[in-house]
């Protein structure tokens, strides 16, 4: 059995799911990179 094409509303679910975990990760990376700038004299 292989995957048939995905239902249309699944695309929305995929986008929302990845945003829920992606936004905090991007926020964390931004905050951490901001905090490490002093290490490089920034």
Binding site for other proteins (CB under 8 A): 1-7, 10, 13-14, 17-18, 20-21, 24-25, 27-29, 31-33, 35-39
Taking the complex as a whole, the smallest distance from the CB of residue 37 to other proteins amounts, in Å, to 7
Taking the complex as a whole, the smallest distance from the CB of residue 16 to other proteins amounts, in Å, to 9
Q: What are phi and psi for residue 24, nearest 5 degrees?
A: -60, -35
CA distance 4 to 6: 6
Taking the complex as a whole, the smallest distance from the CB of residue 41 to other proteins amounts, in Å, to 9
Cα–chain center distance at 40: 26
């Amino acid at each position: 059995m292989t995957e048939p094409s995905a239902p249309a509303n699944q695309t929305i679910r995929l986008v929302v799911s990845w945003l829920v975990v992606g936004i905090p990760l991007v926020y964390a990376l931004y905050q951490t990179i901001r905090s490490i700038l002093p290490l490089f004299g920034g």
